[in-house]
């Protein structure tokens, strides 16, 4: 009874098909963990299947190489950086927005936090200065985006496209197009290290995911994000400061970019104006494949995590199989289509049952 959809909409607007939300409708009352599991397993069953299929293919074609803790770590480390960006993007998209500037912000934040000035300060004080710098730069760029969109009434596509050009240009100007090596005491050691057997980068990603999940599903901020994205008029009439909230969302994704910049800086031990190339498309793709509705009103952190894992596992399996890049591109296109169609069929079946 609880799963009827108004049919005319559902069959006409393709985007509507993508609806999924981690609200707890109809979920059996139980522990928070139980609910989390049921929401992730139940609603993301298509994604789970897609990921499993991918893993089976990986294992079948490369055997030992794929089924290996080190390889899992390779995938996870790789996934962590873009993953943090995708998590931030999930909020903006859920709130009805769009951010094309994430890659450029990552680049600018990485450059700004590895300038000679910042590194000297970090050397004198603590490497945490670099972290703060990166996050502040990300937040600042996000603020500009948000203000232009919320108060300047610019289309998100245009405002963030402008930021994309400007931030990367600024990064090039600051760095004079040079890659900036990091040699601050402790920075690399900390971020490249392990903690309880897992790489620190993966821990950061995990923490970001957990915080984001709570934020989206368990706080007023998260619920208001869905409201703003789903029906801005209703949100405004309910007394939500829609403009301010929109600004916050872009600041949030900016902060995520700042964190990702730190991670990337640590991973490559450099800041570069070329960091984060094409992150915007990848991140949005991961978010949308995960089931968040482009246009707003539905968002899922768990789905995004699956989206991130699917993409990075795909790349890994390709490389292990020594595939030529062109073939990779064609296969990637086909696999994305198959994964999404599969997910829809499975979701539809589990809905009606």
Partner 1 sequence: MTAETILQMSDIVKTFPGVRALDGVDLDVRKGEVHCLLGQNGAGKSTLIKVLSGAHQPDSGTITWQGERVRLNTPMAAMNQGIATIYQELDLVDGLSVAENIYLGHELAAAGFSRHGDTERAAGRLLERLGHPEISPQQEVGKLPAAGQQIVSMARALSHDVQLIVMDEPSAVLDQEEVGRLFSVIRDLTADDIAVIYISHRLEEIREIGDRVTVLKDGRTVATGLSAPDTPTSELIREMTGRDVEYAFPERGMTAEDAPVVLDVAGLSSPGDFTDVDLRVRRGEIVGLAGLVGSGRSEILETIYGARKAGSGSVTVDGRRIRPGSVAAAVNAGVGLCPEERKTQGLLLDEAIYRNVSLATLGRFARGGFLRRGDERAQAEQHVRALDVRPADVERTAGTLSGGNQQKIVLARWLLRECRVLLLDEPTRGVDVGARSELYALVRRLADEGVAVVLVSSEIPEVLGLADRVLVLSEGHVVHEGQADDIDEHQVLDLVMEGSAA
Partner 2 sequence: AGALVVGCTSNEPEEEANAGGDGGEGGNAEPAGGNNEPGEEVTIGFSGPEADHGWLAAVTDSAVAEAESFEDVTLQVAEGTNDANLQISQIETFINQEVDAIVVLPSDGAQLTEVATRAMDAGIPVVNVDREFSSPDASRTTILGDNYGMGVTAGTYACQLIEENDIQDPVIAEIAGIDSLPLTQDRTQGFNDALDKCGQTVDNRVAAEFTVESGEAAASNLLQAAPQIDIIWNHDDDQGVGVKQAFDNAGRDEFFFIGGAGSANAMRWIKNGEMEATVLYPPTQAADGIRLARLLAQDKGMSDLVQEDVPRRIVLDAPLVTAENVDQYMHLGFES
Q: Is 187 exposed, middle or buried, given 0-12, 13-18 or 19+ CB atoms closer than 10 A?
A: buried
Is the Cα dihedral 299, 300, 305, 310 positive or negative?
A: negative
Is 233 near ligand ATP (CB under 6 A)?
no
Partner interacting with residue 153 (select from a second copy, partner 1, partner 2, none; CB below 5-8 Å by kind): a second copy
Residue 180 pairs in a beta bridge with 271
Is 352 near ligand ATP (CB under 6 A)?
no
3-state secondary structure of 199: strand
For partner 2, the closer of residues 21 and 170 by Cβ is: 170
Within residues 265-284, the interface with a second copy by CB under 8 A covers: 281, 284
Partner interacting with residue 43 (select from partner 2, partner 1, ligand ATP, none; CB below 5-8 Å by kind): none
Of the residues 5, 13, 120, 319, which one makes contact with partner 2 according to CB under 8 A: 319
**Contacting range for partner 2; rule: CB under 8 A; set: 6-14, 133-141, 313-321, 335-343:** 313-321
Sequence-separated (6 or more) residues with CB below 8 Å from residue 70: none
**Contacting range for ligand ATP; rule: CB under 6 A; set: 2-10, 64-72, 91-99, 332-340:** 2-10
Strand 198-199 with 194-195, pairing:
antiparallel
Is 316 near partner 2 (CB under 8 A)?
yes
Of the residues 30, 178, 337, 349, which one makes contact with a second copy according to CB under 8 A: 337
DSSP letter at 292?
Answer: P
Q: How many CB atoms lie within 10 A of CB 31?
A: 8
3-state helix/strand/coil string of 83-131: HHHHHHHHHHHHCCCCCCCHHHHHHHHHHHCCCHHHHHHHHHCCCHHHH
Helices 301-320 and 45-62: angle between axes, nearest 10 degrees: 20
For partner 1, the closer of residues 210 and 330 by Cβ is: 210
Of the residues 21, 109, 131, 161, which one makes contact with a second copy according to CB under 8 A: 161
- Cα–Cα separations (whole angstroms), residue 163 to 85, 97, 143, 296: 16, 15, 11, 21
Residue at token pair 């707890």: 24
Q: Is 33 exposed, middle or buried, given 0-12, 13-18 or 19+ CB atoms closer than 10 A?
A: exposed
Within residues 281-320, the interface with partner 1 by CB under 8 A covers: 293, 297-298
Closest of 292, 289, 225, 284 to residue 252, by C-alpha: 225
Is 4 near ligand ATP (CB under 6 A)?
yes
Is 249 near a second copy (CB under 8 A)?
no
Of the residues 8, 33, 70, 153, which one makes contact with partner 1 according to CB under 8 A: 8
Closest of 90, 76, 81, 86 to residue 109, by C-alpha: 81
Round the CA-based radius of gyration of the chain to a whole number and report it: 20
- Size, binding site for ligand ATP by CB under 6 A: 3
Tokens of 211: 């915080």
Partner interacting with residue 100 (select from a second copy, partner 2, partner 1, none; CB below 5-8 Å by kind): a second copy
Within residues 6-25, the interface with ligand ATP by CB under 6 A covers: 6-7
For partner 2, the closer of residues 243 and 321 by Cβ is: 321
Q: Which residues bind a second copy (CB under 8 A)?
A: 8-9, 11-15, 17-18, 96, 100, 148-150, 152-159, 161-170, 172-173, 177, 232-233, 235-237, 242, 246, 281, 284-285, 288-289, 294-295, 324-334, 336-337, 340-341, 344
Interface residues with partner 2 (CB under 8 A)? 62, 65, 68, 70-71, 74-75, 77-78, 81-82, 172, 176-179, 181, 188, 192, 264, 267-270, 272-278, 312, 315-316, 318-320, 322-326, 328
């Amino acid at each position: 009874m609880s799963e009827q959809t108004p049919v005319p909409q559902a069959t006409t607007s393709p985007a509507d098909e993508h609806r999924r939300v981690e609200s707890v409708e109809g979920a059996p009352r139980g522990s928070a963990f139980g609910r989390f599991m049921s929401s992730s397993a139940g609603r993301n069953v298509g994604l789970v299947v897609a990921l499993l299929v991918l893993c089976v293919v990986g294992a079948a074609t490369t055997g030992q190489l794929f089924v290996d803790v080190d390889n899992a770590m390779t995938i996870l480390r790789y996934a962590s950086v873009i993953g943090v960006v995708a998590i931030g993007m999930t909020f903006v998209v859920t709130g009805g927005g769009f951010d094309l500037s994430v890659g450029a912000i990552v680049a600018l934040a990485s450059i700004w936090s590895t300038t000679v000035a910042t590194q000297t300060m970090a050397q004198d004080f603590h490497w945490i200065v670099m972290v703060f710098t990166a996050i502040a730069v990300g937040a600042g760029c996000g603020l500009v985006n948000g203000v232009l969109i919320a108060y300047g009434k610019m289309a998100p596509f245009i405002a963030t496209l402008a930021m994309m050009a400007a931030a990367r240009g600024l990064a090039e100007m600051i760095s004079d197009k040079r890659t900036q090596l990091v040699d601050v005491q402790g920075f690399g050691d900390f971020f490249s290290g392990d903690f309880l057997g897992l790489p620190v980068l993966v821990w950061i990603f995990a923490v970001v995911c957990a915080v984001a999940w709570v934020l989206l599903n368990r706080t007023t901020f998260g619920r208001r994000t869905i409201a703003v994205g789903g029906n801005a008029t209703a949100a405004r009439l309910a007394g939500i400061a829609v403009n301010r909230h929109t600004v916050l969302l872009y600041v949030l994704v900016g902060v995520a970019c700042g964190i990702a910049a730190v991670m990337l800086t640590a991973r490559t031990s450099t800041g570069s104006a070329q960091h984060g190339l094409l992150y915007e498309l990848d991140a949005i793709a991961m978010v949308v494949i995960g089931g968040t509705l482009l246009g707003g009103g539905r968002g899922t952190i768990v789905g995004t995590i699956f989206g991130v894992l699917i993409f990075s596992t795909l790349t890994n399996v390709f490389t292990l199989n020594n595939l030529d890049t062109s073939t990779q591109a064609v296969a990637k296109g086909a696999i994305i289509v198959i994964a999404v169609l599969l997910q829809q069929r499975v979701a539809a079946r589990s809905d009606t049952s």
